[in-house]
Amino acid sequence: MASIRNLYGLSVEELSEALSPLEPRPFTARQIAAHLYARRLLDFDRMTDLPAKLRAELARSFTIQLPSPAETLVSRDGTTRYVLSLPSAGSVEAVFIPSGKRATLCISSQSGCALGCTFCMTGTLGLLRHLSSGEIAGQVALLMDLHRLRPNCFNIVFMGMGEPLHNYQALKAALRLLCDRRTGFGISPGHITVSTAGLAPAIEKLAAEEIVPRLAVSLNATTDEARSRIMPINKSYPILSLMEACGKFLREAGQRLTLEYVMLSGVNDSREDLPRLARLASSLPARVNLIPFNATPELPFQPSPMEQVRRFRDGLLKRGVRASIRASRGPDIRAACGQLSFGAPGDGAAGTGRGESAAGKNRRASDPPEAAMERAAAGELVAR
């Protein structure tokens, strides 16, 4: 028996093609897209501007499915981590981060990650699979509904699982759904940040797109020798080529660019690293976001002392570089930067990413997070 096609995530053009056997009029596809994305109606019966007969045919021929919560964990600081079951197969994680009047949604683009950054727990999973545009945008829709959010009253950061630019076409399609003001979510690209480990060709490609979000580049070292040790992608796209791609993005895209710098004790926090980091940031120019490392027993790093992190921030500011320190949110539920790996706080093991979490399970964390996964090997990558 053939599976029923899921319409969620299809563009207006794709909807028109899928609906053509039932409804040849192109404006019907626009109506359905607006229902799915702008109004977030997930039941054909509620699309009351469509003829009743067509609604019945749609219900027989198609389905509307988004990621759904399998497990919810709430941090002491209000951050919420969701383990989501995907409509087709597998799981992924997304994080809701409250902050005053404007929340942040941390969204995943892949289940797992292939890049193998040695300080990131997601990299220990390897790449389980790419997400579709509907699975990416569906995370946003789900969190908007769960937390009663209106468009442009929150920020979206693609800093969850995966390398967004390694899943380029699905990311591009998801951005179109999120930003379209007529039939999409109507979110401004200025409220969306895509984080990348440094796929230089894809950064340049992104700069030329019709919809261009803000960009955050995970730098994390000031020399190729150090960066290649902790980020294998640097062997393909070393710092010089990465900075050239970042410069092109700034010249062509008209969006902001941030250099992210996870501070690892004895690895990238030396006295010599500070002026080198300042020179790299000034050459673009770019803001620097210093990220205290969220330690786990399985990864061979320790966080730089906060005194050293502040010294870096102050040193950058004195050199004319805009710099800030990222507050760690949700470390007690393993929701903080670099911790997403399907593990439960305090259970001593990370998950496999294949949806073992009990459906509907809710926990409030009380113990520090732990994980246990062997690091997966990563090959050289290009954007797909």
CA distance 277 to 285: 12
Among 23, 71, 93, 260, the one annotated catalytic: 93
Q: pTM (2 decimals)?
A: 0.89
CA distance 139 to 145: 10
pLDDT at position 132 is 97
CA distance 218 to 198: 7
Q: Which residues of 293-321 are buried (b: 16+ CB within 10 A; e: fewer)?
A: bbbbebbebebbeeebbeebbebbeeeeb
Question: Are the beta carbons of 354 and 129 closer than 8 angstroms?
Answer: no
Tokens of residue 250, six digits: 């700034």
CA distance 326 to 1: 50
CA distance 25 to 318: 62
pLDDT at position 379 is 30
Question: Are the beta carbons of 136 and 176 closer than 8 angstroms?
Answer: no
pLDDT at position 254 is 85
Phi-psi label, residue 165: left if phi above 0, alpha if psi -120 to 50, beta otherwise: alpha
pLDDT at position 100 is 83
Question: What is the three-class DSSP state of 24?
Answer: coil
pLDDT at position 351 is 47
CA distance 181 to 370: 42
- For 268, 293, 327, the CA distances from 289, given in Å and listed in that order, are 14, 12, 10
Question: What is the three-class DSSP state of 268?
Answer: coil
What's the half-sphere exposure (Cβ side, CA atoms, 13 Å) at 110? 24
337 has catalytic annotation:
yes
CA distance 331 to 274: 27
Phi-psi label, residue 117: left if phi above 0, alpha if psi -120 to 50, beta otherwise: beta
**CA-based angle 176:181:187, to the nearest 5?**
70
93 has catalytic annotation:
yes
Tokens of residue 153, six digits: 């009253």
Question: Are the beta carbons of 232 and 378 closer than 8 angstroms?
Answer: yes
Structural element, H or E, at residue 135: helix 133-146
Instruction: Please list, in sequence order, all residues whose beta carbon lies within 8 angstroms of the beta carbon of residue 223, skipping any fewer than 6 positions away.
Output: 239, 276
Among 106, 179, 246, 337, the one annotated catalytic: 337
Q: What is the pLDDT of residues 116-142, one digit of tens each?
A: 999 999 999 999 999 999 999 999 999
Question: What is the three-class DSSP state of 345?
Answer: coil
What's the one-letter identity of residue 204? E
Q: Which residues of 203-213 are buried (b: 16+ CB within 10 A; e: fewer)?
A: bbbbbeeeebb
CA distance 253 to 205: 10
Tokens of residue 197, six digits: 């480990």
Tokens of residue 148, six digits: 């009663």
Question: Are the beta carbons of 263 and 292 closer than 8 angstroms?
Answer: yes
pLDDT at position 101 is 81
Digit-by-digit pLDDT tens for the chain (384 residues) are: 457 899 999 999 999 999 998 877 889 999 999 999 999 999 999 999 999 999 999 999 999 999 999 999 999 999 999 999 999 889 999 999 998 888 999 999 999 999 999 999 999 999 999 999 999 999 999 999 999 999 989 999 999 999 999 999 999 999 999 999 999 999 999 999 999 999 999 999 999 999 999 999 999 999 999 999 999 999 999 999 999 999 999 999 988 999 999 999 999 999 999 999 999 999 999 999 999 999 988 899 999 999 999 999 999 999 999 999 999 999 999 999 999 998 766 554 444 433 333 333 444 433 222 222 222 223 334 444
Rg of the chain's alpha carbons, rounded to an integer? 21
34: number of Cβ within 10 Å? 18
Domains of the chain listed by start with CATH number: 5-63 (1.10.150.530), 68-364 (3.20.20.70)
